[in-house]
Structure 1
Amino acid sequence: MELDSKKIVDEFLVFFQSNFSSIEIGKKPAPEFIAQHEHTFPEYLFYIWDKLGFASFEHGGFWLVNPIEYEDILELCLEDTNFPEHDEFYVIGRSAFGELYTVGKNTRSKLTIDIVNLRIYPTLRDDENNTELALLRSLLSSITIKGTKKAIDIYDKNENLLFERCLTNLGELKDNEIYAFEPPVVLGGPKVIENMKKVDLFQYISFVAQLDKFQVMLDIAKEVDRLGIKPKG
Protein backbone atom coordinates (compact mmCIF):
# COMPACT_ATOMS: atom_id res chain seq x y z
CA MET A 1 0.00 0.00 0.00
CA GLU A 2 1.20 3.49 -0.79
CA LEU A 3 2.76 5.31 2.16
CA ASP A 4 0.40 8.27 1.71
CA SER A 5 -2.61 5.97 1.88
CA LYS A 6 -1.34 4.33 5.08
CA LYS A 7 -0.75 7.74 6.63
CA ILE A 8 -4.30 8.88 5.80
CA VAL A 9 -5.83 5.73 7.30
CA ASP A 10 -3.75 6.08 10.47
CA GLU A 11 -4.85 9.71 10.83
CA PHE A 12 -8.49 8.73 10.43
CA LEU A 13 -8.13 5.94 12.99
CA VAL A 14 -6.93 8.50 15.53
CA PHE A 15 -9.86 10.72 14.53
CA PHE A 16 -12.30 7.82 15.00
CA GLN A 17 -11.01 7.12 18.50
CA SER A 18 -11.56 10.72 19.57
CA ASN A 19 -14.91 11.29 17.84
CA PHE A 20 -16.84 8.07 18.46
CA SER A 21 -17.92 7.17 21.97
CA SER A 22 -17.63 3.45 21.30
CA ILE A 23 -15.68 1.36 18.80
CA GLU A 24 -15.57 -2.40 19.27
CA ILE A 25 -12.95 -4.21 17.20
CA GLY A 26 -14.60 -6.94 15.16
CA LYS A 27 -13.56 -10.22 13.58
CA LYS A 28 -10.73 -9.76 11.11
CA PRO A 29 -10.53 -11.34 7.66
CA ALA A 30 -8.99 -14.80 7.70
CA PRO A 31 -5.80 -15.42 5.70
CA GLU A 32 -7.83 -17.53 3.27
CA PHE A 33 -10.22 -14.62 2.65
CA ILE A 34 -7.33 -12.24 2.06
CA ALA A 35 -5.65 -14.63 -0.37
CA GLN A 36 -8.88 -15.16 -2.31
CA HIS A 37 -9.96 -11.50 -2.48
CA GLU A 38 -6.73 -9.51 -2.37
CA HIS A 39 -7.38 -8.33 -5.93
CA THR A 40 -11.14 -7.88 -5.42
CA PHE A 41 -10.89 -4.94 -3.04
CA PRO A 42 -8.36 -2.11 -2.66
CA GLU A 43 -5.34 -2.72 -0.49
CA TYR A 44 -6.23 0.10 1.87
CA LEU A 45 -9.50 -1.65 2.76
CA PHE A 46 -7.57 -4.69 3.98
CA TYR A 47 -5.40 -2.33 6.04
CA ILE A 48 -8.54 -0.83 7.65
CA TRP A 49 -9.89 -4.32 8.36
CA ASP A 50 -6.53 -5.34 9.84
CA LYS A 51 -6.77 -2.43 12.28
CA LEU A 52 -10.50 -2.51 13.08
CA GLY A 53 -11.83 -5.80 11.78
CA PHE A 54 -15.53 -5.73 10.96
CA ALA A 55 -15.98 -3.29 13.82
CA SER A 56 -19.10 -1.85 15.41
CA PHE A 57 -19.42 1.83 16.26
CA GLU A 58 -21.63 3.52 18.86
CA HIS A 59 -22.75 0.29 20.56
CA GLY A 60 -23.79 -1.40 17.33
CA GLY A 61 -25.33 1.60 15.63
CA PHE A 62 -22.94 1.27 12.67
CA TRP A 63 -20.93 -1.73 11.46
CA LEU A 64 -18.12 -2.28 9.02
CA VAL A 65 -18.97 -5.41 7.06
CA ASN A 66 -17.57 -8.12 4.84
CA PRO A 67 -18.76 -7.08 1.34
CA ILE A 68 -18.79 -10.68 0.09
CA GLU A 69 -21.52 -11.58 2.58
CA TYR A 70 -23.72 -8.80 1.19
CA GLU A 71 -23.33 -9.49 -2.54
CA ASP A 72 -26.66 -11.32 -2.93
CA ILE A 73 -28.57 -8.70 -0.93
CA LEU A 74 -27.02 -5.87 -2.92
CA GLU A 75 -27.93 -7.57 -6.20
CA LEU A 76 -31.54 -7.82 -5.03
CA CYS A 77 -31.65 -4.15 -4.07
CA LEU A 78 -30.15 -2.93 -7.35
CA GLU A 79 -31.75 -5.33 -9.84
CA ASP A 80 -34.33 -2.82 -11.15
CA THR A 81 -31.89 0.08 -11.33
CA ASN A 82 -29.14 1.26 -13.68
CA PHE A 83 -26.55 1.64 -10.94
CA PRO A 84 -24.59 -1.53 -11.84
CA GLU A 85 -23.95 0.04 -15.25
CA HIS A 86 -22.41 3.11 -13.62
CA ASP A 87 -19.94 1.27 -11.39
CA GLU A 88 -19.34 -1.96 -9.52
CA PHE A 89 -20.66 -1.26 -6.04
CA TYR A 90 -19.93 -3.11 -2.83
CA VAL A 91 -21.24 -2.75 0.72
CA ILE A 92 -18.75 -1.35 3.23
CA GLY A 93 -21.06 -0.80 6.18
CA ARG A 94 -24.57 -0.96 7.55
CA SER A 95 -26.63 0.59 10.32
CA ALA A 96 -28.48 -0.95 13.25
CA PHE A 97 -31.67 -0.65 11.18
CA GLY A 98 -30.32 -2.36 8.07
CA GLU A 99 -29.41 0.71 6.05
CA LEU A 100 -26.64 -0.32 3.65
CA TYR A 101 -23.74 1.93 2.66
CA THR A 102 -22.05 1.14 -0.63
CA VAL A 103 -19.13 2.59 -2.58
CA GLY A 104 -18.00 2.17 -6.17
CA LYS A 105 -14.80 0.35 -7.03
CA ASN A 106 -13.83 2.69 -9.85
CA THR A 107 -15.45 6.02 -8.99
CA ARG A 108 -16.24 8.00 -5.87
CA SER A 109 -19.90 7.10 -6.27
CA LYS A 110 -21.92 6.03 -3.24
CA LEU A 111 -25.35 4.56 -2.63
CA THR A 112 -27.26 4.59 0.64
CA ILE A 113 -29.93 1.88 0.65
CA ASP A 114 -32.82 2.49 3.05
CA ILE A 115 -34.38 -0.89 3.85
CA VAL A 116 -37.18 0.50 6.05
CA ASN A 117 -38.70 2.64 3.30
CA LEU A 118 -37.23 0.84 0.24
CA ARG A 119 -35.36 3.89 -1.04
CA ILE A 120 -31.94 4.37 -2.63
CA TYR A 121 -30.11 7.65 -2.17
CA PRO A 122 -27.40 7.98 -4.84
CA THR A 123 -24.36 10.21 -5.00
CA LEU A 124 -22.89 9.45 -8.41
CA ARG A 125 -19.49 10.59 -9.59
CA ASP A 126 -17.89 10.03 -12.96
CA ASP A 127 -14.26 9.27 -13.66
CA GLU A 128 -12.64 12.53 -12.58
CA ASN A 129 -9.98 12.40 -9.86
CA ASN A 130 -10.42 8.72 -9.06
CA THR A 131 -6.93 8.15 -7.73
CA GLU A 132 -6.30 5.72 -4.89
CA LEU A 133 -6.07 8.62 -2.44
CA ALA A 134 -9.35 10.15 -3.66
CA LEU A 135 -11.19 6.83 -3.39
CA LEU A 136 -9.71 6.21 0.05
CA ARG A 137 -10.68 9.66 1.36
CA SER A 138 -14.19 9.15 -0.01
CA LEU A 139 -14.54 5.80 1.76
CA LEU A 140 -13.20 7.12 5.06
CA SER A 141 -15.50 10.12 4.89
CA SER A 142 -18.44 7.71 4.50
CA ILE A 143 -17.45 5.89 7.68
CA THR A 144 -17.00 9.20 9.50
CA ILE A 145 -20.42 10.49 8.46
CA LYS A 146 -22.48 7.29 8.53
CA GLY A 147 -21.08 6.12 11.86
CA THR A 148 -22.30 9.11 13.85
CA LYS A 149 -25.19 8.79 16.30
CA LYS A 150 -27.23 11.24 14.25
CA ALA A 151 -26.76 9.26 11.02
CA ILE A 152 -27.54 5.81 12.43
CA ASP A 153 -30.84 6.75 14.05
CA ILE A 154 -34.35 6.72 12.60
CA TYR A 155 -37.68 8.13 13.76
CA ASP A 156 -40.91 6.49 14.80
CA LYS A 157 -44.30 7.73 13.58
CA ASN A 158 -44.27 10.46 16.24
CA GLU A 159 -40.85 11.76 15.18
CA ASN A 160 -39.12 10.28 18.24
CA LEU A 161 -35.70 8.68 17.76
CA LEU A 162 -35.54 4.90 18.13
CA PHE A 163 -31.96 3.71 18.54
CA GLU A 164 -31.41 4.32 22.26
CA ARG A 165 -34.84 2.88 23.07
CA CYS A 166 -34.15 -0.22 20.96
CA LEU A 167 -30.80 -0.60 22.66
CA THR A 168 -32.46 -0.42 26.08
CA ASN A 169 -35.44 -2.62 25.26
CA LEU A 170 -33.82 -5.24 23.03
CA GLY A 171 -30.13 -5.17 23.96
CA GLU A 172 -27.04 -4.81 21.80
CA LEU A 173 -26.94 -6.36 18.35
CA LYS A 174 -24.79 -9.23 17.16
CA ASP A 175 -22.95 -8.84 13.88
CA ASN A 176 -25.75 -10.63 11.99
CA GLU A 177 -28.65 -8.75 13.61
CA ILE A 178 -30.59 -5.52 13.08
CA TYR A 179 -33.52 -3.78 14.72
CA ALA A 180 -36.50 -4.06 12.36
CA PHE A 181 -40.19 -3.29 12.20
CA GLU A 182 -42.42 -6.35 12.19
CA PRO A 183 -44.58 -6.21 10.17
CA PRO A 184 -42.35 -4.26 7.75
CA VAL A 185 -43.30 -0.67 6.95
CA VAL A 186 -43.68 -1.54 3.27
CA LEU A 187 -46.48 -3.94 4.27
CA GLY A 188 -48.26 -1.24 6.23
CA GLY A 189 -46.71 -1.85 9.62
CA PRO A 190 -46.69 1.29 11.80
CA LYS A 191 -43.39 2.84 12.87
CA VAL A 192 -43.78 2.26 16.60
CA ILE A 193 -41.30 1.00 19.17
CA GLU A 194 -43.67 -1.86 20.05
CA ASN A 195 -43.16 -3.30 16.55
CA MET A 196 -39.37 -3.23 16.79
CA LYS A 197 -37.75 -6.67 16.94
CA LYS A 198 -34.22 -7.97 16.80
CA VAL A 199 -33.94 -10.06 13.60
CA ASP A 200 -31.40 -11.84 11.41
CA LEU A 201 -30.38 -9.12 8.95
CA PHE A 202 -29.73 -11.41 5.98
CA GLN A 203 -33.11 -13.12 6.17
CA TYR A 204 -35.02 -9.90 6.87
CA ILE A 205 -33.40 -7.70 4.22
CA SER A 206 -33.66 -10.42 1.59
CA PHE A 207 -37.38 -10.76 2.37
CA VAL A 208 -38.18 -7.03 2.45
CA ALA A 209 -36.12 -6.25 -0.67
CA GLN A 210 -38.41 -8.52 -2.70
CA LEU A 211 -41.69 -6.98 -1.51
CA ASP A 212 -41.58 -3.98 -3.83
CA LYS A 213 -39.26 -1.97 -6.08
CA PHE A 214 -36.86 0.48 -4.49
CA GLN A 215 -37.60 4.14 -5.10
CA VAL A 216 -34.52 5.94 -6.44
CA MET A 217 -34.27 9.37 -4.82
CA LEU A 218 -32.82 12.54 -6.26
CA ASP A 219 -29.04 12.73 -6.53
CA ILE A 220 -28.69 16.01 -4.63
CA ALA A 221 -25.07 16.66 -5.61
CA LYS A 222 -25.81 16.20 -9.33
CA GLU A 223 -28.91 18.36 -9.10
CA VAL A 224 -26.91 21.15 -7.46
CA ASP A 225 -24.34 20.94 -10.27
CA ARG A 226 -27.08 20.89 -12.91
CA LEU A 227 -28.69 24.00 -11.50
CA GLY A 228 -25.34 25.75 -11.14
CA ILE A 229 -25.86 26.41 -7.44
CA LYS A 230 -22.68 27.51 -5.72
CA PRO A 231 -22.06 27.75 -1.97
CA LYS A 232 -21.97 31.24 -0.53
CA GLY A 233 -18.80 32.84 0.61
Structure 2
Amino acid sequence: MRATFVLVPGAGGRAWYWHRLVPELEARGSAAVAVDLPAGDDDAGLEQYTQTVLDATAGRSGGPLVVVGQSMGGLTAPLVCTRVQTELLVLLNAMVPRPGETGGAWWTATGHEQARAEAARAHGWPLDDDDAFLHDVPPEVAATAPTPFAQSGTPFAEPWPLRAWPDTPTRVLAGRDDRFFPVAFQRRVAGDRLGLPVEELPGGHLVALSRPAELADRLVGFLSALSVAGR
Protein backbone atom coordinates (compact mmCIF):
# COMPACT_ATOMS: atom_id res chain seq x y z
CA MET A 1 0.00 0.00 0.00
CA ARG A 2 1.40 3.38 -0.99
CA ALA A 3 1.29 5.84 1.87
CA THR A 4 2.74 9.18 2.86
CA PHE A 5 4.88 9.10 5.97
CA VAL A 6 5.05 12.46 7.73
CA LEU A 7 8.21 12.50 9.82
CA VAL A 8 8.22 14.80 12.86
CA PRO A 9 11.68 15.22 14.43
CA GLY A 10 12.63 15.62 18.07
CA ALA A 11 14.44 18.46 19.82
CA GLY A 12 16.28 20.67 17.38
CA GLY A 13 13.52 20.14 14.85
CA ARG A 14 15.69 19.28 11.85
CA ALA A 15 14.34 17.39 8.85
CA TRP A 16 17.96 16.26 8.41
CA TYR A 17 17.37 13.68 11.12
CA TRP A 18 15.26 11.68 8.65
CA HIS A 19 17.54 12.00 5.63
CA ARG A 20 18.59 8.34 5.67
CA LEU A 21 15.05 7.05 6.22
CA VAL A 22 13.34 8.99 3.41
CA PRO A 23 15.00 7.11 0.53
CA GLU A 24 14.37 3.80 2.30
CA LEU A 25 10.65 4.52 2.50
CA GLU A 26 10.60 5.70 -1.11
CA ALA A 27 12.36 2.51 -2.19
CA ARG A 28 9.49 0.59 -0.56
CA GLY A 29 6.91 2.44 -2.64
CA SER A 30 5.83 5.15 -0.22
CA ALA A 31 6.25 8.90 -0.07
CA ALA A 32 7.95 10.63 2.86
CA VAL A 33 7.75 14.20 4.10
CA ALA A 34 10.49 15.17 6.57
CA VAL A 35 9.52 18.28 8.50
CA ASP A 36 11.69 21.16 9.69
CA LEU A 37 10.19 22.60 12.88
CA PRO A 38 10.73 26.18 14.13
CA ALA A 39 12.83 24.89 17.03
CA GLY A 40 14.96 28.00 17.37
CA ASP A 41 11.99 30.40 17.50
CA ASP A 42 11.01 31.40 21.04
CA ASP A 43 7.66 32.65 19.72
CA ALA A 44 6.75 29.22 18.36
CA GLY A 45 4.82 26.84 20.58
CA LEU A 46 2.92 23.61 20.02
CA GLU A 47 0.30 25.26 17.81
CA GLN A 48 3.00 26.62 15.50
CA TYR A 49 4.76 23.24 15.46
CA THR A 50 1.49 21.53 14.56
CA GLN A 51 0.71 24.02 11.82
CA THR A 52 4.20 23.61 10.39
CA VAL A 53 3.60 19.87 10.03
CA LEU A 54 0.17 20.44 8.50
CA ASP A 55 1.62 22.89 6.00
CA ALA A 56 4.26 20.34 5.04
CA THR A 57 1.58 17.74 4.30
CA ALA A 58 -0.55 20.05 2.16
CA GLY A 59 1.03 19.05 -1.14
CA ARG A 60 1.04 15.30 -0.59
CA SER A 61 -0.12 13.15 -3.47
CA GLY A 62 -2.72 11.07 -1.62
CA GLY A 63 -2.91 7.67 -0.03
CA PRO A 64 -3.06 6.96 3.68
CA LEU A 65 -1.21 9.32 5.98
CA VAL A 66 1.13 7.96 8.65
CA VAL A 67 2.51 10.40 11.22
CA VAL A 68 5.77 9.43 12.93
CA GLY A 69 6.93 11.41 15.97
CA GLN A 70 10.46 10.92 17.30
CA SER A 71 11.47 11.86 20.87
CA MET A 72 10.11 15.38 21.54
CA GLY A 73 8.05 14.90 18.35
CA GLY A 74 5.71 12.89 20.56
CA LEU A 75 4.31 16.20 21.81
CA THR A 76 3.37 17.38 18.32
CA ALA A 77 2.52 14.24 16.34
CA PRO A 78 -0.75 13.45 18.19
CA LEU A 79 -1.91 17.05 17.73
CA VAL A 80 -1.47 16.67 13.97
CA CYS A 81 -3.73 13.60 14.04
CA THR A 82 -6.62 15.71 15.34
CA ARG A 83 -6.37 18.11 12.42
CA VAL A 84 -5.91 15.84 9.41
CA GLN A 85 -7.20 12.37 8.59
CA THR A 86 -4.45 9.99 9.73
CA GLU A 87 -4.31 6.26 9.20
CA LEU A 88 -1.63 5.54 11.79
CA LEU A 89 0.40 7.32 14.46
CA VAL A 90 3.82 5.91 15.34
CA LEU A 91 5.69 7.06 18.44
CA LEU A 92 9.40 6.42 17.92
CA ASN A 93 11.50 6.64 21.10
CA ALA A 94 9.00 9.35 21.91
CA MET A 95 7.64 11.40 24.76
CA VAL A 96 4.07 10.41 25.66
CA PRO A 97 2.33 13.43 27.20
CA ARG A 98 -0.74 13.53 29.41
CA PRO A 99 -3.51 16.13 29.00
CA GLY A 100 -2.52 19.38 30.69
CA GLU A 101 1.05 18.25 31.37
CA THR A 102 3.89 20.44 30.18
CA GLY A 103 6.82 18.96 28.35
CA GLY A 104 9.01 20.40 31.08
CA ALA A 105 7.08 18.55 33.79
CA TRP A 106 7.13 15.29 31.79
CA TRP A 107 10.70 14.46 32.79
CA THR A 108 10.00 14.43 36.51
CA ALA A 109 6.51 12.94 36.18
CA THR A 110 7.86 9.93 34.28
CA GLY A 111 10.95 9.46 36.43
CA HIS A 112 13.17 9.77 33.37
CA GLU A 113 16.38 10.80 35.12
CA GLN A 114 16.27 7.91 37.57
CA ALA A 115 15.35 5.39 34.87
CA ARG A 116 18.18 6.55 32.65
CA ALA A 117 20.71 6.39 35.51
CA GLU A 118 19.56 2.91 36.51
CA ALA A 119 19.87 1.64 32.95
CA ALA A 120 23.34 3.16 32.62
CA ARG A 121 24.50 1.41 35.80
CA ALA A 122 22.94 -1.91 34.79
CA HIS A 123 24.48 -1.92 31.32
CA GLY A 124 27.74 -0.12 32.01
CA TRP A 125 26.85 2.82 29.76
CA PRO A 126 28.45 6.22 30.37
CA LEU A 127 25.92 8.76 31.60
CA ASP A 128 26.85 11.17 28.83
CA ASP A 129 24.57 12.87 26.32
CA ASP A 130 26.92 12.50 23.35
CA ASP A 131 27.12 8.77 24.01
CA ALA A 132 23.37 8.51 24.63
CA PHE A 133 22.51 10.04 21.28
CA LEU A 134 25.40 9.01 19.04
CA HIS A 135 26.78 5.71 20.33
CA ASP A 136 25.43 3.72 17.35
CA VAL A 137 25.28 6.46 14.69
CA PRO A 138 28.05 5.99 12.10
CA PRO A 139 30.64 8.75 12.63
CA GLU A 140 30.53 9.73 8.97
CA VAL A 141 26.77 10.31 9.32
CA ALA A 142 27.06 12.28 12.56
CA ALA A 143 29.73 14.45 10.92
CA THR A 144 27.19 15.74 8.38
CA ALA A 145 24.78 17.05 11.04
CA PRO A 146 23.84 20.72 10.62
CA THR A 147 24.75 22.97 13.52
CA PRO A 148 23.66 24.36 15.86
CA PHE A 149 20.76 22.25 17.09
CA ALA A 150 18.95 25.04 18.94
CA GLN A 151 15.76 24.16 20.81
CA SER A 152 13.53 26.80 22.34
CA GLY A 153 11.97 26.03 25.71
CA THR A 154 8.61 27.46 24.63
CA PRO A 155 6.95 24.16 23.60
CA PHE A 156 8.09 22.58 26.88
CA ALA A 157 6.40 25.33 28.91
CA GLU A 158 2.93 24.87 27.41
CA PRO A 159 0.34 22.44 28.82
CA TRP A 160 -0.38 19.68 26.34
CA PRO A 161 -3.73 20.83 24.94
CA LEU A 162 -5.69 17.65 24.18
CA ARG A 163 -8.24 16.28 26.66
CA ALA A 164 -7.49 12.72 25.59
CA TRP A 165 -5.29 10.79 23.20
CA PRO A 166 -6.54 11.10 19.59
CA ASP A 167 -8.73 8.37 18.15
CA THR A 168 -5.99 7.23 15.79
CA PRO A 169 -4.45 3.75 15.74
CA THR A 170 -1.16 4.17 17.59
CA ARG A 171 1.98 2.05 17.68
CA VAL A 172 4.87 2.59 20.07
CA LEU A 173 8.28 1.69 18.67
CA ALA A 174 11.51 1.72 20.67
CA GLY A 175 15.14 1.14 19.85
CA ARG A 176 16.23 -1.65 22.18
CA ASP A 177 19.65 0.03 22.47
CA ASP A 178 18.27 3.48 23.36
CA ARG A 179 20.42 4.93 26.14
CA PHE A 180 18.46 8.17 26.50
CA PHE A 181 14.97 6.68 26.75
CA PRO A 182 15.83 3.12 27.87
CA VAL A 183 13.41 0.56 26.50
CA ALA A 184 12.19 -0.54 29.94
CA PHE A 185 11.36 3.11 30.67
CA GLN A 186 9.48 3.41 27.38
CA ARG A 187 7.51 0.24 28.15
CA ARG A 188 6.44 1.60 31.52
CA VAL A 189 5.43 5.02 30.18
CA ALA A 190 3.52 3.62 27.19
CA GLY A 191 1.75 1.10 29.40
CA ASP A 192 0.83 3.59 32.10
CA ARG A 193 -0.25 6.38 29.78
CA LEU A 194 -1.64 4.65 26.71
CA GLY A 195 -2.19 1.05 27.76
CA LEU A 196 -0.09 0.03 24.76
CA PRO A 197 2.81 -2.39 24.38
CA VAL A 198 6.16 -1.32 22.99
CA GLU A 199 7.58 -2.98 19.92
CA GLU A 200 11.36 -3.06 19.65
CA LEU A 201 13.90 -2.88 16.86
CA PRO A 202 17.69 -2.68 16.94
CA GLY A 203 19.15 0.78 17.38
CA GLY A 204 19.51 3.66 19.78
CA HIS A 205 17.66 6.92 20.32
CA LEU A 206 18.48 8.20 16.82
CA VAL A 207 17.51 4.98 15.08
CA ALA A 208 16.55 6.74 11.84
CA LEU A 209 20.23 7.64 11.49
CA SER A 210 21.68 4.35 12.68
CA ARG A 211 19.22 1.76 11.30
CA PRO A 212 17.18 3.39 8.53
CA ALA A 213 16.49 0.21 6.54
CA GLU A 214 15.26 -1.73 9.58
CA LEU A 215 13.12 1.24 10.61
CA ALA A 216 11.59 1.57 7.15
CA ASP A 217 10.72 -2.14 7.14
CA ARG A 218 9.00 -1.81 10.49
CA LEU A 219 7.03 1.30 9.52
CA VAL A 220 5.81 -0.19 6.26
CA GLY A 221 5.01 -3.40 8.12
CA PHE A 222 2.84 -1.53 10.63
CA LEU A 223 0.78 -0.06 7.82
CA SER A 224 0.45 -3.36 6.00
CA ALA A 225 -0.70 -5.11 9.18
CA LEU A 226 -3.25 -2.37 9.82
CA SER A 227 -4.59 -2.74 6.29
CA VAL A 228 -4.92 -6.53 6.61
CA ALA A 229 -6.69 -6.19 9.96
CA GLY A 230 -9.08 -3.65 8.47
CA ARG A 231 -8.29 -1.42 11.43
- Point out which structure has higher relative CO (alpha carbons under 8 A, 6+ apart): 2
Greater CA radius of gyration, 1 or 2? 1
TM-score by length of 1: 0.32
Higher strand share: 1
